[in-house]
Structure 1
Amino acid sequence: MANASYVNSYYANSLNSELSLPTLQGEHQCDVCVVGAGFTGLSSAIHLAKRGYKVILLEGERVGWGASGRNGGQAIIGYNNGIGMLEQRFGLEDTRKYLEFVLEGCQIIRQFVEDYQIECDLKEGHAGLATCDRQLQAMEHEREVWARCGHDDIKVNAGHAAVQQMVGSENYVGTYYDPNGAHLHPLNLARGEARALLGLGGEIFENSRVTKIDKTMTPTVYTELGRVKAKQVVLAGNAYLGNLVPEMEARLVPVSSFIVTTEPLPDALAKEIIRKDYGFCDWNYVLDYYRLTGDQRLLFGGESFYGGKEPRNVSQRLRQNMLKVFPQLQDVKVDYSWGGNFAITYSRMPDVGRLPGSSVFYAHGYSGTGVTTTHIMGRLLAEAVAGSAERFDVFANVKQMPMPGGRLLKVPAVIMGSWYYLLRDKLGASRK
């Protein structure tokens, strides 16, 4: 049985320590009130506490309850459309900055794990898998842009032999290896970061959903049973922030993604299907992603749906997808199946900024690559709160638009747009 109030996932059933936190009651005061105890909120709170700020972190459910504790556990170096697409949009100089930021985000994770002794099955390496020649060409373009940005450690290899060195599957025509990426147990990472924050003097309140914010220069944050008077506020609720700030909600669409996890695999079978212990994903628009867990299960995800809905029989569909990649698992039992939401933006870049006329900062909308970007964004939020917004503004200056279709029609509009990319998948085009 999953830990109480967490979704019944493999992660919730493999927590490595207890964490009991109170509910906010009465009136409190602090320097910075952070809303949302996912990776963005935890990272920003830790960086603020290290700077000497008195921090209160409010979570509507439990630490890591949302996307931060349900995702595929892959710390990917990049953004939704890849580094190569950024060069076309922003030019080489800004692209180099964006790449350095996300590399820094992964280093923050490694530093947190080391400094605070967080046990989260951290393993190094990420690999992309091409399902067609056009994706292989896109991988080569991505490698070239990385090299122009000063990083020549991406390896792209074509052919059956290259694939077989990484995975025991016949589905792919080439590989893309990034030694800078990693994979991990995200919920244990989030809870380890929460313990780190407590050790730095921060306060965390769970089951304390924010109901209202006075968005002024001296904001007050309200929950059902209490309130926090703060000098500044950081909003980090992402897909689960709801309609708390309507003007922000208009720029986001929730997307659901789903994961199944097998029973522990025998050594020989685990080594047959996963020959390099990296995190993997293909390069389709609606992609498959998978990796081995610390106790040698295959964790396999995909099947995204716009609007945050969960279709019927999604676990069966994922199992079928898994068997298309690894028919060797035909007789293997699936122990866990779950889903969760992340948020996408129209730009597919994080939506970052400060609410006009207030001391309220925000960052969300990581569009599917949040493990690394959330961690660097926490540091940038802390810098901005402290009065040094130069690096924060590299993201805040990205033009963000409301999703087409307005509040009622934005999900159907995005679904219609996604059909084009699904057709490209079927025709063998690249997502990059």
Structure 2
Amino acid sequence: MSNPSYVDSYYTSTLNSEFDLPQLVGEQECDVCVVGAGFTGLSTAIHLLKRGYKVILLEGDKVGWGASGRNGGQAIIGYNNGIGMMEQRFGLEDTRHYLNFVLEGCQIIRDHIAEFDIQCDLKEGHAGLATSERQLKAMEHEQEVWARCGHDDISVNRGLGAVHEMVGSNNYLGTYYDPNGAHLHPLNLARGEARGLLQLGGKIFENSRVTRIDKSMTPKVHTEKGVVSAKYVVLSGNAYMGGLVPEMESKLVPVSSFIVTTEQLPEAVAKDIIRKDYGYCDWNYILDYYRLTADRRLLFGGKSFYGGKEPANIAGRLRDNMVKVFPQLKNTRIEYSWGGNFAITYSRMPDVGRLKNSNVFYAHGYSGTGVTTTHIMGRLLSEAVAGSAERFDVFEKIPQIPMPGGKLLKVPAVIMGSWYYQMRDKLGASRK
């Protein structure tokens, strides 16, 4: 039996409050059993409860234990390859849908924060930073596609002067600003949404890892000590499904990402390095991302590793990256470091669908932009369960193929691909 506990992180040290949730013991019945209490599962359950469904949410560890409670806290409006790359791939109409979906996802977050009075340090605004001329051109193309989709509020500015209006770094050539994005404390958001779910009459069972699912039109979900009989099941474990449904996970590769957080910074230092209180990332393939916390620490992440492995001395390596961006912090102490896994797909778009001959739905594979997409996916899953799948189908129709290389070789194959893109970073190419 697992012993549910969070990884040691800045987020767990600043958790608003803890509350105990029971383990599933014995038999339960419901309309919908949701597996995985990250953002997808929480959003799905909340939306289903508002539609009048009886919902049980099962979590193998604790609410927000996985990527939802460990990520960089940036609610980015977009997908792994950016909106700018999608028009040629999907056409303008579908690109407009995909953009509007993530905008809606970020609004769902704001609505939950207001409805359930969640204290999670929400700050508006997201900015990208270009390290090459090619990235600047990609930013300008992104801005143009947004405008063709009916949104003209993206701004792109060239030059060190524009950079210095946002951050105190000489590493960049220009900026991309999206007022629709935001940043926040993700674990406090997840726990706050869990409280809201309970207020709506839902049930959550922690430390209740699913061991087997009877996939049929009347599915049953088994845990170590109990079983849930449901009309529908929604699977939302992403990188932490643990081989439960092999046909789903063949399309995913786990990727580990890591974060460090500094000691509290003097106010003058904090204002020097982060001059506009946005969430930031560069546009490299293996990117750096960072933001200020509510108590004036720099939270700095990056150094992705394919296969979900943790390399040695990640704190030291991330510190080196941080100091390259902000030499002002060379004598600043790192107080927290942690990592976690998210899942990528070959398409770099979310993989959603319904298992064959069953009432089992699923959504996963957000490929690094999950804070917003998970929240809209919860609404779309609730619509699909209720029999209105038109919007869900916009995602389900995306071709998803198993990762090349099969079970044994897919990670090495993706690693080889990442080497190619890292070389592109060094040559000044863009990930978009």
TM-score higher than 0.5: yes
Counterpart of 2:335 in structure 1 is 335
TM-score normalised by length of structure 2? 0.99
Q: Are the aligned partners of 2:4 and 2:62 in contact in 1 as well (CA < 8 Å)?
A: no
> Which amino acid in structure 1 is aligned with residue 380 of structure 2?
L
Counterpart of 1:7 in structure 2 is 7
The CA distance in 1 between the partners of 2:19 and 2:88, in whole Å, is 45
Counterpart of 2:287 in structure 1 is 287
Whether 1:79 and 2:99 are equivalent positions in the alignment is no
Counterpart of 1:161 in structure 2 is 161
Q: CA deviation at 1:18?
A: 1.9
Counterpart of 1:381 in structure 2 is 381
Counterpart of 1:245 in structure 2 is 245
> Which amino acid in structure 1 is aligned with residue 383 of structure 2?
E
Residues 122-177 of structure 1: CA distance to partner in whole angstroms, max 9, x if unpaired?
A: 00000000001110000000000000000000000000100000000000000000
> Which amino acid in structure 1 is aligned with residue 93 of structure 2?
E
Counterpart of 1:204 in structure 2 is 204
Q: Are the aligned partners of 2:383 and 2:389 in contact in 1 as well (CA < 8 Å)?
A: yes
Q: CA deviation at 1:338?
A: 0.2
Counterpart of 1:360 in structure 2 is 360
TM-align CA RMSD: 0.8
Counterpart of 2:391 in structure 1 is 391
Q: How does 1:183-194 map to 2 (within 5 A)?
A: 183-194=183-194
Counterpart of 1:410 in structure 2 is 410
Counterpart of 1:425 in structure 2 is 425
> Which amino acid in structure 1 is aligned with residue 431 of structure 2?
R
The CA distance in 1 between the partners of 2:160 and 2:251, in whole Å, is 42
Q: CA deviation at 1:241?
A: 0.6
TM-score normalised by length of structure 1? 0.99
Residues 88-119 of structure 1: CA distance to partner in whole angstroms, max 9, x if unpaired?
A: 11000000000000000000000000011000
Counterpart of 1:301 in structure 2 is 301
Q: Are the aligned partners of 1:351 and 1:395 in contact in 2 as well (CA < 8 Å)?
A: yes
Counterpart of 2:99 in structure 1 is 99
Could you say what secondary structure the match of 2:372 adopts? helix
The CA distance in 1 between the partners of 2:418 and 2:36, in whole Å, is 29
> Which amino acid in structure 2 is aligned with residue 90 of structure 1?
F
Counterpart of 1:122 in structure 2 is 122
Q: Are the aligned partners of 1:345 and 1:365 in contact in 2 as well (CA < 8 Å)?
A: yes
Q: How does 1:224-263 map to 2 (within 5 A)?
A: 224-263=224-263
The CA distance in 2 between the partners of 1:19 and 1:318, in whole Å, is 33
The CA distance in 2 between the partners of 1:313 and 1:16, in whole Å, is 30
Residues 256-295 of structure 1: CA distance to partner in whole angstroms, max 9, x if unpaired?
A: 0000000111100000000000000000000000000111
The CA distance in 1 between the partners of 2:30 and 2:79, in whole Å, is 34
What are structure 1's unaligned runs of at least 5 residues? none
Could you say what secondary structure the match of 1:153 adopts? coil
Q: CA deviation at 1:4?
A: 7.0
Residues 340-370 of structure 1: CA distance to partner in whole angstroms, max 9, x if unpaired?
A: 0000000000000000100000000000000
Could you say what secondary structure the match of 1:139 adopts? helix
Q: Are the aligned partners of 2:4 and 2:60 in contact in 1 as well (CA < 8 Å)?
A: no
The CA distance in 2 between the partners of 1:212 and 1:306, in whole Å, is 27
> Which amino acid in structure 1 is aligned with residue 335 of structure 2?
D
The CA distance in 2 between the partners of 1:70 and 1:392, in whole Å, is 27
Counterpart of 1:48 in structure 2 is 48
The CA distance in 2 between the partners of 1:417 and 1:172, in whole Å, is 25
> Which amino acid in structure 2 is aligned with residue 173 of structure 1?
L
Identity of aligned residues (%): 80
Aligned residues: 430
The CA distance in 2 between the partners of 1:338 and 1:324, in whole Å, is 20
The CA distance in 2 between the partners of 1:154 and 1:37, in whole Å, is 33
Q: Are the aligned partners of 2:126 and 2:178 in contact in 1 as well (CA < 8 Å)?
A: yes
Residues 236-260 of structure 1: CA distance to partner in whole angstroms, max 9, x if unpaired?
A: 0000012100000100000000000
Could you say what secondary structure the match of 1:121 adopts? coil
Could you say what secondary structure the match of 1:310 adopts? coil
Q: Are the aligned partners of 1:80 and 1:348 in contact in 2 as well (CA < 8 Å)?
A: yes
Q: Are the aligned partners of 1:19 and 1:191 in contact in 2 as well (CA < 8 Å)?
A: no
